[in-house]
Structure 1
Amino acid sequence: MHKLGQLSATLGKSVSAGETGTWEFHYEAGPAGIAIGGSLRIWSPQNHAYRLRYYTWNFGQISVDTRSQSRLTASIANPGDTAVPHILLSVAGSPLREHETATVIIGDTLAGAEGARAQITAAREVRFKAEVDSDGSGVWIGLPECPTVKVLASEASHFDIAIPAAINSKRNQALITAKDEFDNVCGHFNSRSVQVETQPPCPSVPSIVHVRSGNGRILLPAAAEGRFRIIARDRANGLEGASNYSQRDFLSDFNIYFGDMHAQSGFHFREPEFGTTNDLIQYARNVQGLDFIGSGDFVTSFYGEGRGLQWWELKKKHVKHNNLPGEFVTILGYEWPSPYYGHRNVFFPGDDAPLYRFGAADPQERLWWYVDTQRGRDTPPDLWRFLEGTGAVTIPHHPNADSDRSAGEIHPERRIKAWHAPLWDYEPDNEMEPLIEIYQGRGSFETDDLSHWVKLGGFGRSVQDWLARGCRLGFVGGSDDHLVRTSPAVIFPDTLKLRGGLTGVLAKELTRDAIFEALRNRRTFTTNGLRMMLDFSVDGESMGGTRSLWDASMPRRVFCKAVGTDVVESIELIKNGKVIHTHYGADVYETMVYTDKSLARSGDYYYARVIQANDGIAWASPVWLEVKEGKRAMFG
């Protein structure tokens, strides 16, 4: 036994995600005991993985029983919405001596309270953490062995179906995945009677598919024309689902490819047991059916001459090995976590990249994402100079959020924020930084005003604020899930069902070079996780581009078409931050055409916001105007 004691639990080998019940933690004091004023605290698993409470365990009503002379009190500390709760067991009356025990009951229902609730994310194995302050001095020492449990998916509730936006000979499979209400893959689900329907009818697609261990695949006709989708039903188990639409001729010059531009592996928090970069890639490709993925773990996680650099080399190996032109594209990257200038995702076009090193970062910090820097040091221009010649792009993420009002992360020793809303002490680099994250698992950052989709803001750093400063930024989205998943379908189950975001790119082919060419040229759109297809242009100039005019009075024809996954209720045209036209729709396919006859100014921009009946939303990257008076011969 450890000198500070040992902790066990009645959890068994496994629980189901979201399961409610009553469980017990048994603590036996070690030789050091716990003095009067000392404490034991028990942390729920994944307190490093994501700070928002819905991902972790809810202890419910707790009580304590003891076989000692001590007077013990049990409480839940940090019970706020943005903190991970832990159980605090305090000793009073007399010390807790060696071999004396205390039992903490979570989910105690004797007083009519509901039981405790397990975390909602499935995991191979999660570990509770116990720490002892043996003398009340505030110095906590962790117990080396703590209870672990496997978290299984709960009962399957629906099918998640993904098909390529444009079916061809290499991208010709539909993925059918059985998932529970929390978006976990139900590996225990098996069915030989899943009925398949295609719209329109397609005789070459089988009418029955087998789903084994939660997954099924259907070979699709590479020559499918028009809009096409799949519906799957398992009547015996009450499951169904519908895919996104595929349409080969939706665009004349490009294909649409979907990816997650903000995904993390277990390396992000130095916990590869939650999953490596390879695990993340396999989920993106074989569960979500994405076309590409940008992996952005904290750059500080790879510091140090030991495990950090080993993980970086392993990550590069996984990215290189899984990059399959024409089938799936992987993009190497990391997250640059400045506490003053905002977090940026950095992505590279090749299989190798230099690691940016913050001047005063301490890789041994308990909270390793913390960077001990100062305003004016490690600035975005410093980052851009470091990246010169690499071909990298940088992307600000959660640009209008602040750690005091979102994750609540304040370093316990230094009392400094994990991240501020970015400070604008620098000029934007429109070449190195062509994109901005408009949506992710925390919601949208489009506007400064809180709304249906905008859950964090009020700092004057919204996407529209960046655009108003003259930043020429296209739109991307991602999950920022921290749990080795891409674009999970349910993020805030107690409020709006926000999803992780997706980035759609308009590219000639599915290769890393083609995806990067589209990213650099801002030929992108973003959705809140649903695979809507968008086309947006001004006088034929596609999203992300610049329309040159030789006369400010020239009218501009703005065009947008959308294929939704549900009825497209509206297409809103935004010019310079204001809605100037709304097209109302009643079908999954809608087209908007609008002519702007107002005087044009250089720097004016347009973008489209598309809203579906099922809360789906998408944003097309802007098109900018450049007025060159007197140059009619060049542009006429």
Structure 2
Amino acid sequence: MDLKLLWGDIHVHSGFSRCFWLWNREGGDPDDLYDKLEKAGLDFAAIVDHEGHMKDEDWERLKEITNRHNKPGRFVTFLGYEWSTRVKGLTEDRNVYYLGDDGPLLRGSDGRSDRAGKLFGFFRREGIEAIVIPHPHPSTDFFTEWDHDPKYQPVVEICSDWGAWEYFGNPHFCKDADFLPGKFYQDLLKRGLHLGAIASSDRHSNLVGVHQGHLRCVYERKIPQRSNPLGVRRPRIRLEGGFFINPINPCFAAVYAEELTREAIFDAIRKRHTYAAAGAKIKLDFRVNDHMMGEVCRLESPPFRAEVFCSAEGERPISKLEVLRNNQVIHAVKGNARKVSLEFEDEGIDERETYYYARAFQDDGARAWSSPVWVICPSYPDLSLHLVSSKDLPERRLRERTERLLSGRTGIAVWRGEHKGRKMLSVFWGGETDRRCVGELRISGFHRYFVFQEGFQVAADLFTDDGTGVVQWNAGIGKGAKGLSLIGVPEEGETPEVAIVASAEGEPFEVAFLDGSLFDLPSVGASVRW
């Protein structure tokens, strides 16, 4: 059956969410919002108010409105809500959608549903047809605890009114966010997660389904400029006079489905036959070896190559079309026409799992990102990081062991380890001082590596990773240990090595430990091998 390209916005808030009233003094009726979403020319939509803001009677009211507006073949609505929980003091948000007319309102404040893994387990036990879509937000820590289930969590929202989250430092990044490297869509793909791309507005106003310019906040709130020793620009934000939203809006969920029904759209999202669009309804077709976006292609025998096809048709001329392999652009064409396409053969596959995705740019800045196609070659070496869940992260007890070793002294501890054939290194520091830990890692001998923070404070602690082996940080020192962890795939024939330079703002640490034993780590640095 031919697939239909359908357009939706499945992340809209009504007056049932308290945050709606930050930007509005009237409106917010879900009935009215669904009417506007349909009149805006969308095929499907969902109002997903915060579960923590809704009373039980609000949820019942939202059910009735959502189901009344569902008109298969004309305009499809989904019952859902935004689920939030607190992890290490930071909020983590995911949107929950139900296939049917009914479903439970699971709350992040309830110990039975305060983690994503518990949501998945509940849906599985109860046989509930549900989809969970994580989304980034400027006041959250994207995927602090990554619990993943491909059945229930097939895609991730990579663009909204808040900004784009493709990679650290990408254009139209949320201006008041304090995200760190490792928290973006490319990072999740690099870790080995099979996640499709999707977008939606996260709109908090009565103006839905259309472009929205400057938002004016009705309450005074200020976000001061933070000191930034690592040079990542963060402008001063004054929400009193307005809010800097993503200029390329509205954002759309694009889905290739068999028909305009709840069942067909749900099935398409589960298959990752989706892509994200922002600023315009750009028609994007992306295929690798005749597999469409979101699919897995297995090559059991030679030739191990990828035949790539991509086509983009915009509302205005397409200025550029790019294809990425493992997060790196490998093919690009410039254009000046409404429709641009490319086709090429890639013989650069050299490992067991390779992923490709495309992105298209309109001449006015609007853009679209496809879901990837994964190419699996079982006879090639496995060079994946195998970081697909929080269980695959280095041992969390290392922070506690560091605190016991330091016993209040200002110091640093370096821990080596291995996990599924991957080398691991953790660097933790702590102590009783008002100084900051300043340091650098120079990483060599790895085919691929990933660095993430442990215990960093939002807006106060920073680190950068240039992607080529240089990691720098500037973070506070306190009684509670904090640090960075590295996991890497060694390059064949190379000796993995990490050179460490660290100090308490130029002063040497009182003590330093390597794998629990005292060792000499002068401020000029030391090298660690496995």
Which of the five TM-score ranges fits, normalised by the shorter chain? 0.5 to 0.7
How far apart are the structure 2 equivalents of 1:427 and 1:285?
34
Once residues 57 and 273 of structure 2 are traced to their aligned partners in structure 1, the CA distance between those partners, rounded to angstroms, is: 35
Q: Does 1:300 align with 2:48?
A: no
Given candidates 134, 144, 150, the residue that maps to 1:423 is 144
* 1:246-261 alignment runs, 5 A limit: 253-261=2-10
**How far 1:488 moved relative to its partner?**
4.0
In the TM superposition, residue 535 of structure 1 has moved relative to its aligned partner by 0.7
Aligned to 1:451: 171
> Partner of 1:516: helix, strand, or coil?
helix
Match of 1:539 among 289, 314, 318: 289
Match of 1:278 in 2: 31
Among 468, 473, 476, which residue is 2:198 paired with?
476
CA apart distance, 1:339: 2.8
| Aligned partners of 1:478 and 1:503 also within 8 Å | yes
Q: CA deviation at 1:575?
A: 1.1
Choose from 340, 346, 354 the match for 2:104: 354
Q: Find the partner of 2:306 among 547, 556, 571.
A: 556
SS at match of 1:265: coil
Deviation at 1:496, TM superposition (A): 6.7
Q: Does structure 1 retain, via aligned residues, the 8 Å contact 2:324–2:357?
A: yes
Cα distance, 1:614–1:479 mapped onto 2, change above 3 Å: same
Q: CA deviation at 1:490?
A: 3.0
Supply the distance in 1 between the matched residues of 2:20 and 2:60 (Cα, whole angstroms).
16
Of 70, 92, 117, the residue aligned with 1:381 is 117
| Contact 2:113/2:119 (<8 A) preserved | no
State the SS of the aligned residue for 2:101. Answer: coil
Which position in structure 2 is the counterpart of 1:588? 338
Deviations 1:547-576 (CA, angstroms, capped at 9, x unpaired): 111136422111111110111011110111
Tell me, yes or no, if the aligned pair for 1:601 and 1:625 is still in contact at 8 Å: no
Following superposition, the deviation at residue 342 of structure 1 comes to 1.7
CA distance in 1: counterparts of 2:142 and 2:363, whole angstroms: 32
Do the aligned partners of 2:133 and 2:155 also contact (CA within 8 Å) in 1?
yes
Give per-residue Cα distances to partners, 1:167-218, cap 9 Å, x unaligned: xxxxxxxxxxxxxxxxxxxxxxxxxxxxxxxxxxxxxxxxxxxxxxxxxxxx
Q: Secondary structure at the match of 1:604?
A: strand
Alignment of 1:132-211 (within 5 A): none
Q: Indicate the larger mover: 500-509 or 447-456.
A: 447-456
Q: Does residue 1:568 correspond to 2:315, yes or no?
A: no
Q: Per the alignment, in what secondary structure is the counterpart of residue 202 of structure 2?
A: coil
What SS class does the counterpart of residue 56 from structure 2 fall into? Answer: helix
1:522-564 CA-to-partner distances (Å, cap 9, x unmatched) read 1011111311111111011001101111136422111111110
Following the alignment from structure 2 to structure 1, what is the Cα–Cα distance between the partners of residues 379 and 141? 42
Contact 1:346 / 1:393 at 8 angstroms: preserved in 2? yes
Query: What amino acid maps onto 1:385 in structure 2?
Result: G
Q: Cα offset for 1:603? A: 2.8
On the 8 A contact 1:478/1:487 being kept in 2, the answer is: no
Taking only aligned residues, the RMSD between alpha carbons, in angstroms, comes to 2.4
2:172 and 2:109 map into 1 onto residues whose CA distance is 40
Match for residue 38 of structure 1? none
Letter in 1 for 2:129: G
> Which of 76, 92, 95 is the equivalent residue of 1:329?
76
Distance 2:30 2:269 in 1: 22
Q: 1:454 to 1:264 in 2, by over 3 A?
A: closer
1:364-375 equivalent positions in 2, closer than 5 A: none
Distance 1:402 1:577, change over 3 A: same
Displacement of 1:270 in angstroms is: 8.2
| Cα separation, partners in 2 of 1:435 and 1:588, compared to 1, 3 Å | same
Q: How far apart, in 2, do the equivalents of 1:270 and 1:578 lie?
A: 38
Task: Tell me how far 1:585 sits from its aligned partner.
Answer: 1.2
CA contact (8 A) 1:265 1:279 kept: no
Rounded to whole Å, the distance in 2 between the matches of 1:270 and 1:311 is 15
Q: Superposed, which structure 2 residues align to 1:73-88 within 5 Å?
A: none
What amino acid does structure 2 have at the position aligned with 1:387?
Answer: F
Percent of aligned pairs with the same amino acid: 33
Using the size of structure 2 for normalisation, the TM-score is: 0.61
Q: Could you tell me whether the CA contact under 8 Å between 2:73 and 2:261 is conserved in 1?
A: yes
Q: Do the aligned partners of 2:107 and 2:114 also contact (CA within 8 Å) in 1?
A: no
Q: Distance in 1 between matches of 2:301 and 2:147?
A: 29
- Equivalents in 1 of 2:170, 2:310: separation in Å? 26
Aligned to 2:155: 435
Q: Which has the higher contact order (CA 8 A, sep 6+)?
A: 2
Gaps (5+ residues) in structure 2? 216-243, 381-530
TM-aligned CA distance change 1:313 to 1:421, over 3 Å: same
Check the 8 A contact 2:73/2:260 in 1, yes or no.
Answer: yes
Q: What per-residue deviation string (whole Å, max 9, x for no partner) do you get for residues 128-148 of structure 1?
A: xxxxxxxxxxxxxxxxxxxxx
One-letter code of the match for 1:380?
Answer: A
In the TM superposition, what is the alpha-carbon distance from 1:386 to its structure 2 partner?
2.1
* CA 488–453 in structure 1, closer or farther in 2 if over 3 Å, else same: farther
- Rate the CA distance shift 1:331–1:605 in 2: closer, same or farther, 3 A: same
Structure 1 unaligned regions, length at least 5:
1-251, 303-307, 361-372, 404-418, 631-636
* 2:189 pairs with 1:467: yes
Aligned pairs for 1:45-64 (under 5 A) are: none
Report the Cα distance in structure 1 between the residues aligned to 2:183 and 2:214, rounded to whole angstroms.
23
Q: CA deviation at 1:318?
A: 1.0
The residue that corresponds to 1:151 in the other structure is none
One-letter code aligned to 1:422: F
State how far apart, in whole Å, the 2-side matches of 1:515 and 1:391 are.
Answer: 13
Deviations 1:25-67 (A, max 9, x none): xxxxxxxxxxxxxxxxxxxxxxxxxxxxxxxxxxxxxxxxxxx
Task: Output aligned runs, 1:501-520, within 5 Å.
Answer: 501-520=251-270
Aligned AA for 1:479?
S
CA contact (8 A) 1:558 1:596 kept: yes
Counterpart residue identity of residue 69, structure 2 = N
Aligned residues: 341
- Distance in 2 of aligned mates of 1:354 and 1:466: 29
CA contact (8 A) 1:507 1:514 kept: yes
Q: 1:328 to 1:584 in 2, by over 3 A?
A: same
Contact 1:265–1:295, Cα closer than 8 Å, also in 2:
yes
Q: Separation in 2 of the partners of 1:551 and 1:475?
A: 29
SS at match of 2:64: helix
| Deviation, structure 1 residue 508 | 1.1
| Number of the residue aligned with 1:173 | none
Pair member with larger Rg: 1
CA shift at 1:452, angstroms? Answer: 4.3
Question: Does structure 2 retain, via aligned residues, the 8 Å contact 1:487–1:499?
Answer: no
- Kindly provide the amino acid, as one letter, of the partner of residue 300 in structure 1: G
CA contact (8 A) 2:279 2:365 kept: no
| CA drift at 1:301 | 2.1
Counterpart CA distance in 2 for 1:334 and 1:452 is 26
Secondary structure of the residue aligned to 1:290 is coil
Q: How far does residue 450 in structure 1 lie from its aligned partner after superposition?
A: 4.2
Deviation at 1:434, TM superposition (A): 0.2
| Code of the aligned partner of 1:277 | P
After superposition, what is the alpha-carbon deviation per residue over 1:87-108, rounded to whole angstroms, capped at 9, x for unaligned? xxxxxxxxxxxxxxxxxxxxxx
